[in-house]
Amino acid sequence: MTFAQSLNNQSSVLRINIMVVDDDPVSREIMSRMLERSKYRDPSMEITVIAVRDAREALSTLKIQRNNIDLIVTDYYMPGMNGLQLKQQITRQFGNFPVIVMSSDTNKEQESLACGSVCFLPKPIKPTDLPKIYQVAFTYKRKGKSISRTEHNHMDTNVSIPQQIQLLPEQANVSRTKKNKKFSSRSDSRSPSKKSKLSWSDYLHDLFLQAIHHIGLDKAVPKKILEFMDVSYLTRENVASHLQKYRNFLRKVAESSGMLHGRGMEPYHSNYTTSSSWYDTGLNNKSSYSKPRHGLGQSRLLSNTCEPVRFNQMPYNHMNRLSTYEPHRTGSNLTMPIKSNLSFSTQPLQNEGSRSFLEPTVTANKTGQTSQVLGLGQHGMSATNDNNFINNMMRSYGRISIYASSTSNQPGMNSHGSSTPNQPGMSSYGSVSPNQLGMSSHGSLTPSQRGMSSYESLTSNQPGMSSHGSLTPTQPGMISRGSLTPTQQGISSYGILSPSQLGLSTQPGMSNQGSLGPTQRGMGMSNYGSLTSYQPALSTHGSLFPNQPGISSHISLPPTQQGMSSFGSLTTNHSGMSSYEILTPAQPGPSHISYGLLLDNENTAYKPQPHASTTIQPDNLSLYDDLGNINEIPFDLSNFDFDHDKQQEEAVSANKFEIPANLETELNQTSSLEEDGDWTFLNINQGHFNEKTSNTFAAPEMNDPTFNKNPNHAQEQDVPDFDWSLLDFVNLANENDFMDSMFTNDMN
DNA sequence: AATCGTATCT
DNA sequence: GAGATACGAT
């Protein structure tokens, strides 16, 4: 393969090399595989792992590979030299290399951070921890080392700037933009003609949306967005181009929403069909990223063309691109930003509260401003309703809308959620991807609130967030921490974002997150937790997988469709879910465009398919989907504990597909709300099937008493650990099939 | 000079 | 059609 070919075939793949140091072969192997496999979930990155057994080997390897290693992840307890001693040696010999210390002994966290490790990860390492690891790797690679893209690998060696690694990101205090330009453009400049084309993956787009959300649409300019996104390989031009598209999309949406007519929202009847849109293009077929094949709200569940039910396509959500933008938002409170003119100028918005499309507006309707918001016409855009355009954009850029207005139960979400396990809206936070510091961390919130820090570190624009705090040893406590409610880490983190921006303050939901217990590390929970606590959907969700917050939930609910859809169905009865209601036409809402509106339309069209009767049967619980993607890890990795210094004591049923008993009740209640009687319910059944596939949700008995619909109650209980003694992991781990099945989604 | 917004190109 | 690039404006 020629260089040019290589260039074409591997566009913009960010390569990071991680050294794993662990004396325990199983733990080491798992860690290595988790890291390596994860690359399949994000085509834009490639992880190479160098696994060594102890500190000595690590040091010797570093001597040779120092310039090729971006991050070191080491166990704490190791013979000869422990992880921190290794860290110190590394610092002494190689400078301030980023080191992550992991241990099942969480008491080592403070010590680890104090000694300069950038992060501490409690063992067992879970998939949800990966984002944090990537985050650190990317951060340091970006800050201190050259950006090596696969196509430029051969040039990497002489671009490393050792001095850079001496500094922690915040210490370096260098302009990221310039720095990156300096280092990353270098390689680009050396490749004379070809410049790889950036693909705006879900992940990137979500990050992009987050940036806009955070900054405010009116103030979001390429440079700011870029800074917020903080993705090393992104250029301002990339962002500018994307922003242009996005703005076009927003205009178009506004335009076709009837804004020009001075009316509220006319239900937009989409006619989504499967098609390629950039939304999809960012994902190769191997990717397990969400790929709504149906448009907004057209959940697969409701579609007769749905593929056989499988279980989760998403092993875990760290790569999940679900946006988290408006997790707590309910449609009724959402309004489009009011703009004084067409252009997305930096001119202050006319309406008091909302700064952007993403900002919830709690205030009354601003019908009169509606047209302004759209600012249509001034640009001479087509006055015709270009539904095709909208359709396309909805599928792509439109994601934001979906998220914004959706809650887990919303049809719109469904489609979204259908591909991604944890998400709807909320999950997104948790489901963030590797580079995405903010959210990811979120998911991985631990009692000590590391997650928060990371988030904070991301949001440069966020007041008070500046501290990298927890991530860096020098600022462990950080500001944000102080603001966090002791018992509600999750919330606080959200709170940081939200109160004024997400409208969380008005949402009781925060508490959910708060319910996250120290031991509850799953992203899923967090994510859902972020949803309004009173939202049945969330709780239900959470309740579905008491033992396995993020992951398990995926497991039990079929990914492509069911997960979300069932979600959606749940919602109906609960809550009256705000989101649902919002969606409903009858619901009082902003007269002007709102995300809810969009969804509303969606919702209107959201009709159960008479024929759609999906039954999830064990046989369908394949590890792989039709594309060969791994569906879900059949059990929570967090239950792995190969650390010698800590054994799992509590045994748990091997049955990992449990659903709380009360879920059935809830679901049945839900069904009563469906007059059409055509809702499709999932029969998630482990042992037996419920013969009734319609309007029936056969929920297995839940034997986990810790389940509690109200996150504020009992959720802090430790989740029973999986009794891994039930499995011979050592042997299993030595079998490629097993490990591959766990981590591979790229079956050749 | 940097960066933006937009038009246009690939 | 997604993303890159050109280019005038600020």
CB count within 10 Å of CB A305 equals 11
The predicted pLDDT at position A237 comes to 93
CA of A493 to C1' of B5 (A): 35
* Cα A57 to Cα A67: distance, rounded to the nearest angstrom: 16
The predicted pLDDT at position A143 comes to 61
The predicted pLDDT at position A243 comes to 94
pLDDT confidence tier of residue A504, bands split at 50, 70 and 90: very low
Does A98 have pLDDT greater than 70?
yes
For residue A72, tell me if it sits in a domain: yes
pLDDT confidence tier of residue A319, bands split at 50, 70 and 90: very low
* Cα A270 to Cα A136: distance, rounded to the nearest angstrom: 41
What's the CATH number where A106 sits?
3.40.50.2300
pLDDT tens digit sequence for A48-64 = 889 999 999 999 888 88
Q: Are residues A282 and A172 in the same domain?
A: no
C-alpha dist (Å) from residue A672 to A341, A615, A675, A684, A694: 47, 19, 7, 19, 12
Task: For residue A558, say if its preceding peptide bond is cis, omega within 30 degrees of 0.
Answer: no
Question: Nearest nucleotide to A277 by CA–C1' distance?
Answer: C1
Contact in structure between A181 and A44 (CB atoms under 8 Å) = no
Question: Nearest nucleotide to A393 by CA–C1' distance?
Answer: C1
Q: Decide which of A79 and A738 is more confident.
A: A79
Residues A644-683 as b/e (b if ≥16 CB within 10 A, e otherwise) read: eebebeeebeeebbbbbbebbebbbebbeebeeebbbbbb
The predicted pLDDT at position A120 comes to 87
Q: Are residues A300 and A169 in the same domain?
A: no
Q: How many domains does chain A have?
A: 2
For residue A231, tell me if it sits in a domain: no
pLDDT tens digit sequence for A328-385 = 222 222 223 322 222 233 333 333 222 233 332 222 222 222 222 222 222 323 333 3
* Cα A594 to Cα A590: distance, rounded to the nearest angstrom: 7
* Cα A76 to Cα A216: distance, rounded to the nearest angstrom: 42
Select, from the ranges A69-73, A283-287, A560-564, the one with the highest average predicted confidence (pLDDT).
A69-73
Domain boundary among A176, A202, A235: A176
For residue A268, tell me if it sits in a domain: no
The predicted pLDDT at position A244 comes to 93
3-class SS at A488?
strand
pLDDT tens digit sequence for A693-748 = 222 222 222 222 222 222 223 222 222 322 333 323 333 333 333 333 333 333 33
The predicted pLDDT at position A229 comes to 85
pLDDT tens digit sequence for A513-567 = 222 222 222 222 222 222 222 222 222 222 222 222 222 222 222 222 222 222 2
Domain boundary among A150, A176, A202: A176
Question: Nearest nucleotide to A391 by CA–C1' distance?
Answer: C1
A242: Cβ under 7 Å from strand C?
yes
CA of A500 to C1' of B4 (A): 28
* Cα A504 to Cα A431: distance, rounded to the nearest angstrom: 19
Does A403 have pLDDT greater than 80?
no
For residue A729, tell me if it sits in a domain: no
For residue A681, tell me if it sits in a domain: no
Domain boundary among A139, A156, A176: A176
Does A256 have pLDDT greater than 70?
yes
Q: Are residues A352 and A495 in the same domain?
A: yes
A453: Cβ under 7 Å from strand C?
no
Concatenate the DSSP letters of all residues of A614-676 into one string.
----GGG--SB-TTS-B---SS-GGG----TT--------S------HHHHHHHHHHHHH-TT
For residue A332, tell me if it sits in a domain: yes
Contact in structure between A699 and A522 (CB atoms under 8 Å) = no
Mean pLDDT throughout A679-703?
26
A648: Cβ under 7 Å from strand C?
no
For residue A223, tell me if it sits in a domain: no
The predicted pLDDT at position A90 comes to 87
C-alpha dist (Å) from residue A198 to A98, A246, A249, A280: 28, 16, 19, 14
Q: Report the alpha-carbon angle A613-A527-A231, nearest 5.
A: 110
The predicted pLDDT at position A218 comes to 86
Rounded to the nearest integer, the mean pLDDT of chain A is 42
The predicted pLDDT at position A451 comes to 24
* Cα A547 to Cα A132: distance, rounded to the nearest angstrom: 22
Domain that holds residue A10: 3-176
Least confident window among A105-114, A178-187, A512-521: A512-521
